[in-house]
Amino acid sequence: MLEKSIRLKDVAKAAGVSQGTASNVFNRPQLVRPEVRARVEATAKSLGYGGPDMRGRLLRAGKVNAIGIAVPEPLPYLFADPFARVLMSAIAEECDAAGAGLALISAINEERVAWNVETALVDGMILLCLERGTRLVNLARDRRLPFVALQMGVSDEGFSAVGIDNFSAGLAAGRHIVGLGHRRIAILSLHSRAEDVDAADFQETQDRLGGYLAALAEAGIERSGVPIFATNNDPQAARRATAEMFHSAGERPTAIIAMSDLTALAAMDWLHEAGIGVPDEVSVIGFDDIPEAVGANPPLTTIAQPIADIGRVAVRLILRAERETVQQELPTALVVRGSTARAPA
């Protein structure tokens, strides 16, 4: 018999057992006597039967015991970016504890994202839609599976989300800087182009920037006097932006507010290479509190967000039995270290 035509009933007939017994050998072997199990397994091997079709079993069960992680960034981002590594480690640990698997879903290609989301064999999805996540949310909603967006500040309460209050966190960062007497301040933003800062699909950037600018406005600093540089959270772009700050005409900033630790650390590297002292000449504050922040020289002042807790809560929301939507906001904290100091006289 050809391998592709071998079915479970053929194995049962050749082994002299019922089809139910043969099924138990592959699905519930503890219910079958060892000698019968051995005979059925030997028969299956001789006939070239590899076992039940897992795809069919999963479709019948309606559950694959896996969570999808969808991200509108190249998949290597999940392993290269310090923030993403902490987040993914926590997600993986929580899945391990629950006996669930993980599937990575690429959402970077606009032409294939719909297909990738629609065909992923998962029971639910975590959407890393920190930015540019509107389409991803809509696709996940159409899939009719549980999903959690890692984004707060959204007005749509029709889906579950977990994250932080970016406006309040930005406000705390800005107040720290102006409280130190700084008035010449530059911002390293997350957006990729200057015109994107007010785009509706860049909620995280808008909220953090809104917090920064509100704090600066309290000190009498208008937005028009605050240079904002696009970095797309890329260290090389942050280095170029920092160089532009200090090579352009006009007064140099005495403080840099970065929307991520990654760009803050890149700015500090450039300042060090240029012989500009941190924090004696320029204070730098980041955002995230990634592991590299505390080991920087000097240690980076930053806004700490509970990255690992965000991942753990997202997994629990996917795996819970209840299906009501939950908008869960986790706390942030200002962590003052050595990279910020009083503004130079």
Q: Is residue 37 part of a domain?
A: yes
User: In whole numbers, what is the pLDDT of the chain averaged over residues?
Assistant: 88
Closest Cα partner for 334 from 179, 161, 226?
179
pLDDT at 218: 97
CA gap 122, 177 in Å, rounded: 45
CA gap 338, 264 in Å, rounded: 13
Is residue 150 located within the same domain as residue 171?
no
pLDDT at 250: 79
* Bridge pairing between strands 333-335 and 301-304: antiparallel
How far is C-alpha 321 from the geometric centre of its chain's CA atoms?
23
- Judged against a pLDDT cut of 80, whether residue 211 lies above it is answered with yes
Q: Is residue 342 part of a domain?
A: no
Beta bridge partners of 167: none
Is residue 191 located within the same domain as residue 281?
yes
For a pLDDT cut of 70, what percent of the chain falls above it?
89
Print burial letters for 156-186: b (CB count within 10 Å at least 16), e (below 16): eeebbbbbbbbbbbbbbbbbbbbebebbbbb
- Judged against a pLDDT cut of 50, whether residue 102 lies above it is answered with yes
pLDDT at 125: 94
Is residue 201 located within the same domain as residue 235?
yes
Is residue 18 located within the same domain as residue 96?
no
Contacts of 256 (CB under 8 A, 6+ apart): 185, 186, 187, 188, 242, 245, 264, 267, 282, 283, 284, 285
pLDDT at 157: 66
**Which of 26-35, 80-89, 106-115 has the lowest average pLDDT?**
106-115
Residue type, 147: F
Closest Cα partner for 165 from 176, 148, 178, 151?
151
Q: What is the CATH number of the domain that holds 278?
A: 3.40.50.2300
Q: Is residue 119 part of a domain?
A: yes
Is residue 301 located within the same domain as residue 198?
yes
**Which of 48-62, 64-78, 312-326 has the lowest average pLDDT?**
48-62
Contacts of 227 (CB under 8 A, 6+ apart): 186, 187, 245, 253
Q: Is residue 90 part of a domain?
A: yes
Q: Is residue 299 part of a domain?
A: yes
- Reported as a single tens digit per residue, the pLDDT across 286-320 is 999 999 999 999 999 999 999 999 999 999 999 98
Q: Is residue 255 part of a domain?
A: yes
CA gap 34, 186 in Å, rounded: 73
Instruction: Place 198 in a pLDDT band, splitting at 50, 70 and 90.
Output: low
Contacts of 32 (CB under 8 A, 6+ apart): 21, 24, 25, 40
Query: Residue 182 is part of which domain span?
Result: 166-305
Is residue 126 located within the same domain as residue 239?
no
117's tokens? 């989301």
Q: Are 276 and 283 in contact (CB under 8 A)?
A: no
> Rg for the chain (alpha carbons), in Å?
27
Q: Is residue 101 part of a domain?
A: yes
Q: 0.75 exceeded by the pTM?
A: yes
φ and ψ of 186, to 5 deg: -120, 155
Q: Is residue 345 part of a domain?
A: no
Task: Supply the DSSP string of 316-338, one letter for each residue.
Answer: HHHHSS-----EEEE--EEE--T
- Reported as a single tens digit per residue, the pLDDT across 217-273 is 999 999 999 999 999 899 999 999 999 999 986 789 999 999 999 999 999 999 999
Q: Per the structure, how many domains does the chain have? A: 3
pLDDT at 56: 55
Q: How many H-runs (helices) and E-runs (strands) does the chain carry?
A: 14, 12
Is residue 173 located within the same domain as residue 262?
yes
- Reported as a single tens digit per residue, the pLDDT across 137-171 is 888 888 888 999 987 555 556 788 999 999 999 99
Is residue 130 located within the same domain as residue 187?
no
Is residue 250 located within the same domain as residue 292?
yes
Closest Cα partner for 147 from 131, 176, 127, 117?
127
